Homo-oligomer: A and B are copies of this chain.
Amino acid sequence: MSSSKKKTRLPLYVQVSELLHREIAAGQWVPGERLPTESQLAQDLDVAVGTLRKALTVLEEDGLLERRQGSGTYVRKPPEGGAVYQFFRLELLNGGGMPRAVTQSVALLKSTDVAKQFGKAGNPDKQYWRIRRLRYLNQTPVAAEEIWFDGRHAEQLSVEDMHESLYVHYREEFDFWMTHVTDEVSCQEAPEWACQLLNTPVPTTLGWISRQAWANNGRIEEYSQTWFDPLQSRYVARLS
Could you list which residues of chain A lie within 8 angstroms of chain B, going by C-beta atoms?
62-63, 87, 89, 91, 179-188, 205-208, 210, 228, 230, 233-240
Contacts and interface: CB of A to CB of B under 8 A. Distances in A.
Contact of A184 (B179, B181, B206, B236): B236
13 contacts: A180-B238, A181-B239, A181-B240, A182-B238, A182-B239, A184-B236, A185-B207, A185-B237, A186-B234, A186-B235, A187-B230, A210-B234, A237-B237
B235 A185 contact: yes
Contacts of A63: 240
A206 B208 CA distance: 12
Nearest to A240: B180
A179 B240 contact: yes
A87 B237 CA distance: 12
A239 B184 CA distance: 11
Contacts of A234: 184-186, 210
For the complex of A and B, the 7 pairs showing the least CB-CB separation, nearest first, are: A180-B240, A187-B187, A185-B235, A186-B230, A186-B234, A237-B237, A184-B234
Number of copies of this protein chain within its complex:
2
Nearest to A214: B240
A187 B188 CA distance: 9
Contacts of A236: 182-185
From A184, A187, A228, residue with most partner B Cβ within 10 Å = A187
A33 to B, nearest CB: 22
A61 to B, nearest CB: 8
A229 to B, nearest CB: 9
Contacts of A181: 238-240
A82 to B, nearest CB: 17
Nearest to A239: B181
Contacts of A87: 239
Contacts of A180: 238-240
